[in-house]
Amino acid sequence: MHPDRLLIYVAVFAIMGLSNAVIPILPELAARYHSMYGEFASSLLFSGYFLGALATMLPFGILSDRFGNLKFIGLGIALTVVSGVFIFLSENLWILIFSRFVEGAACGAFFPAAFSSLSKCKDPGRCMGEFTFLFNAGLAAGALFSGLLADIFLKSAVLIFTLFALLSGIPLLYRLEELFNPKKTGTNPKSLSGQDSLKSHFKHSFIKITGLISRRNSGIWLGSFLLNGAVGVLIAYYPDYSLEILSKARLGGAIASLYICAMVTSLLAGRFKVKEKTIIRIGLAFSALGAFFAIKYPFFGFSSLGGGSGVAMVGFALAVARMNADRGLAMGLFNTTIYAGLSLLPIVAGFLTETLSLKELFLVNGCILTVALLLKN
């Protein structure tokens, strides 16, 4: 296996494990501030991560095309470790929210570069499937260990995955020359100099974005946004919804089932010779079904939602990889839609909790996924 591919696989497991280690303990982290902010405190903690990713995903994707993918993979790992340390050490809500924002920025650096690297594989479908498998494996492990270890020490899983992220970056210490020497990344050093050159690169990239955001591709971007937004709403508010129903261990297990099923289906979807459109529709159908069932049957609902989203995300990634555009730019835009959904829809849902019960909110959530399924493009 190519060293870059191995680095990406190990790092994505650690990065996603840390990102999800916070989810089962959101009510406890925000407990001191519930009297002041209510459930909105949990929403801010949840969405801070995704806002960080949303703000940085596209710029870092554009820059990775220019400066090389390895630099941004390394930056993503470094920012993950820094954010994990602050989340572990602090109890202040605003420091925690800022740390989650930095953690999101780490994903903004890592994912466009990682997807861009993997899209160059001989078998991109298989590589995307394996990457999505490990992406969801990290999410599942983060939720599961956090739920299981919370009674022993609330932030046990945060510490574990921060250390794992640190260890995942060790191979980069042997590649410092490659990280800091433009010639080693295949980038022309003459093209890297000058503020005007960088400005023109961004200008050229944003012109390309207007072409990518066309009616022909609108279903891909909107479908990805709605799918991930619906998943984000369910994960953000289910800990509060199930507070009197599920133990932390059962909650962690239910959330983990989402990612475990996504792991299995993404691995399978990457190996089937089926058109992307068919893969996406199958995934969205199971996701919508899961969103409705999760209201009463958490394990079945989360499993169906996870399995469906795993299939759909492989379909979306393959569709984007085959667009006629710079890979870093296209993957940056794709990941922006993912994190836009994950960050913005839970915030909108937070405002709706003043007029809707959480059960009613989850019903609306299922309807959103049904709308995504009906998109034509």
Judged against a pLDDT cut of 90, whether residue 235 lies above it is answered with no
The DSSP annotation for 336-356 comes to HHHHHHHHHHHHHHHHHTTTS
Mean pLDDT score across all residues of the chain: 85
Supply the pLDDT for residue 184.
54
Structural domain boundaries in the chain: 3-176+214-373
Instruction: Compute the C-alpha angle 206/211/212, nearest 5°.
Output: 90
Q: What CA–CA distance (Å, rounded) separates 287 from 262?
A: 10
Rg (CA), the chain: 20
Q: At what angle do helices 40-67 and 218-241 cross, to 10 degrees?
A: 140
Supply the pLDDT for residue 161.
97
Q: In this predicted model, what pLDDT tens digit does every residue of 20-55 receive, in sequence order?
A: 999 888 888 887 776 566 667 777 887 888 889 889
Q: What CA–CA distance (Å, rounded) separates 323 from 124?
A: 13
Q: How confident is the model at residue 377 (pLDDT cuts 50, 70, 90)?
A: low
Q: In this predicted model, what pLDDT tens digit does every residue of 306-325 receive, in sequence order?
A: 999 999 998 998 888 878 77
Structure tokens at 313: 């995300």
Q: How confident is the model at residue 160 (pLDDT cuts 50, 70, 90)?
A: very high
SS3 155: coil
Q: State the DSSP code for 173.
A: G
Q: State the DSSP code for 225.
A: H
Supply the pLDDT for residue 188.
44
Average pLDDT for residues 330-346, to the nearest whole number?
85
Q: What is the pTM of this model?
A: 0.78
CATH code assigned to 3-176+214-373:
1.20.1250.20
- Percent of the chain's residues with pLDDT above 90: 37
Q: In this predicted model, what pLDDT tens digit does every residue of 166-222 receive, in sequence order?
A: 999 999 988 887 777 655 554 444 444 555 577 777 777 777 777 777 767 788 889
